[in-house]
């Protein structure tokens, strides 16, 4: 019988013990953010594991090449055959005489262990165990005693906890220090340390660096700890600023959508109440000179469905980033002012004014709540101008 849960309420060690003592067959799937692990069991023992988005094939090849067991040329050939044939990399290496089966199994064993060990540092993640689901046919399997792996994983976690205490958060983007200030005359870097240092590029965050490390997250975290403590690696302030700016931009487009969508739908409602189907046709009419971009924006701003805001963001994402905000405000303003003029022409200034007063009243709290954002990006001023039909 399968089961599901979260590591907050049932620890990874307890899950392994449950599977081992129950001699279960199946796969344990564990998901945290964009990262996932799959661990396969037969008779309670671990027989395979995978870490996503990195594949076990890529990491296996990297480890074998790194240990000098496989040349870069042979690895390239084997990976091409793996992709073209659909066969597992280990199987390709054995069948083509590039490596002995025992060498491949030993490397796979180490890789599977690293995948399992890495989960011990996860304090929160969704998991589910599926009974009797086995690895793909043809995959080379190992046979690891789950209780032994669990004891080693717990030991490593104790070490990892000390290391993690001095590391930045997982979402922190890291870069090499441009002008390192060393507190010691020399630093000895291992091959693992150098490999991790090369992965630090000012774009990847800590979790991404750990997940892509061919020698496993445990070893990579110790290397990162050394590099950070030695002041060779630091948090990237530009990335933090970019992240902050992206977050603020998302809020701006959310504010634009909420303001203009509400106003346009209020105008539409009034036109329909006064004029019936004629009002609907007047509202939906595309004036001469409007391009497809403007017409498309009208559709998503008045869609009213659950996916309308997502459609708005998708529509606006087509606009080049350098002019996006200016263009979106211009398009949305053009839409709103046109519909205000249509209503004024058909219903007169009194009925239009009554509807616009209602829009202002509905949106007063939102604009007050987002006043700094609205003022900084001129969203409030542009919106009020468009409501005047200007």
Which two tokens mark 253?
């487009």
pLDDT of residue 55: 54
Which two tokens mark 389?
């039909």
Tell me, yes or no, whether 8 and 149 share the same domain. yes
Tell me, yes or no, whether 199 and 276 share the same domain. no
Q: Which residues pair with 174 in a beta bridge?
A: 235
Would you say residue 169 lies in a domain? Answer: no
Tell me, yes or no, whether 90 and 127 share the same domain. yes
Q: Estimate to the nearest angstrom the gap between the alpha carbon of 374 and the chain centroid.
A: 28
Tell me, yes or no, whether 10 and 132 share the same domain. yes
Give, for 212, the enclosing helix (H) or strand (E). helix 206-212
Would you say residue 337 lies in a domain? Answer: yes
Backbone φ and ψ of 152, nearest 5°: -65, -40
What b/e readout covers 74-86, taking b as 16+ CB neighbours within 10 angstroms?
bbebbeebbeeee
Tell me, yes or no, whether 130 and 193 share the same domain. no
Contact predicate 199/211, CB 8 Å: no
Single out the residue in 185, 215, 235 at which a domain terminates: 235
Single out the residue in 218, 235, 252 at which a domain terminates: 235
Tell me, yes or no, whether 244 and 279 share the same domain. yes
d(CA 227, CA 16): 33
Contact predicate 232/252, CB 8 Å: no
Place of tokens 């692990």: 37
Residue 5: strand, helix, or coil: strand
Tell me, yes or no, whether 127 and 197 share the same domain. no
Residue 70: strand, helix, or coil: coil
Long-range pairs of 204-210 with CB within 8 A, sequence gap ≥ 24? 204/173, 204/174, 205/170, 205/171, 205/172, 205/173, 205/174, 206/167, 206/168, 206/169, 206/170, 206/171, 206/172, 206/174, 207/33, 207/35, 207/170, 207/171, 209/174, 210/118, 210/170
Tell me, yes or no, whether 222 and 256 share the same domain. no
Would you say residue 382 lies in a domain? Answer: yes
Identify the CA nearest to 300 among candidates 283, 289, 318, 313.
313
User: In Å, how far are 45, 120, 138, 366 from 29, measured between CA atoms?
Assistant: 16, 14, 21, 42
Single out the residue in 131, 164, 197 at which a domain terminates: 164
pLDDT of residue 231: 79
Tell me, yes or no, whether 143 and 28 share the same domain. yes
pTM above 0.85, yes or no: no
Tell me, yes or no, whether 308 and 373 share the same domain. yes
pLDDT of residue 27: 93
pLDDT of residue 28: 93
Would you say residue 39 lies in a domain? Answer: yes
Would you say residue 220 lies in a domain? Answer: yes
Flag residues of the chain having pLDDT under 70.
1, 34, 53-59, 66, 86, 164-165, 170, 180-185, 214-216, 238-247, 289, 291, 293-295, 303-307, 390
Residue 30 zone, left/alpha/beta (φ > 0; ψ -120 to 50; rest):
beta
Q: CA angle 279-283-286, nearest 5°?
A: 135
Tell me, yes or no, whether 133 and 230 share the same domain. no
Domain count, the chain: 3
Would you say residue 157 lies in a domain? Answer: yes
Tell me, yes or no, whether 247 and 371 share the same domain. yes
- Domain region containing 188: 174-235
pLDDT of residue 254: 85
CB atoms within 10 A of CB 44: 18
């Amino acid at each position: 019988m399968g089961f599901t849960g979260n590591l907050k309420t049932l620890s990874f060690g307890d899950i392994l013990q449950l599977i081992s003592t129950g001699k279960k067959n199946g796969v344990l799937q564990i998901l945290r953010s964009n990262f996932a692990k799959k661990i396969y069991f037969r008779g309670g023992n671990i027989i395979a594991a995978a870490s996503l988005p990195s594949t076990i094939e890529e990491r296996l090849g990297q480890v074998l090449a790194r240990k000098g067991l496989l040349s870069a040329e042979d690895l390239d050939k084997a990976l091409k055959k793996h992709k073209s044939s659909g066969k597992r990399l280990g199987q390709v290496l054995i069948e083509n005489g590039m490596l002995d089966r025992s060498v491949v199994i030993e490397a796979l064993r180490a890789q599977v262990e690293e995948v399992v060990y890495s989960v011990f540092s996860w304090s929160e993640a969704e998991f589910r165990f599926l009974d009797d689901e086995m690895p793909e046919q043809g995959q080379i399997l190992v046979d690891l005693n789950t209780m032994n792996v669990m004891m080693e994983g717990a030991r490593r976690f104790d070490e990892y906890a000390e290391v993690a205490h001095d590391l930045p958060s997982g979402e922190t983007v890291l870069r090499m220090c441009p002008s390192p200030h060393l507190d010691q005359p020399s630093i000895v870097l291992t091959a693992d340390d150098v490999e991790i240092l090369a992965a630090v590029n000012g774009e990847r965050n800590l979790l991404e660096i750990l997940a892509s490390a061919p020698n496993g997250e445990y070893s990579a975290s110790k290397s990162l700890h050394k590099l950070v403590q030695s002041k060779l690696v630091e948090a990237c302030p530009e990335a933090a600023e970019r992240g902050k700016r992206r977050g603020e931009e998302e809020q701006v487009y959310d504010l634009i959508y909420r303001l203009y969508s509400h106003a346009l739908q209020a105008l539409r409602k009034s036109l329909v109440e006064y004029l019936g189907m004629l009002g609907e046709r007047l509202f939906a009419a595309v004036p001469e000179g409007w391009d497809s971009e403007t017409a498309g924006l009208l559709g998503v701003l008045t869609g009213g469905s659950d996916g309308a805001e997502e459609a708005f963001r998708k529509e606006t994402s087509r606009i080049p980033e350098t002019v996006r905000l200016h263009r979106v405000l211009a398009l949305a303003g053009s839409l709103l002012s046109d519909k205000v003029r249509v209503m004024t022409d058909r219903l007169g200034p009194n009925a239009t004014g009554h509807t616009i007063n209602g829009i202002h009243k509905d949106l007063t709290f939102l604009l007050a709540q987002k006043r700094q954002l609205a003022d900084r990006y001129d969203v409030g001023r542009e919106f009020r101008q468009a409501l005047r039909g200007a």
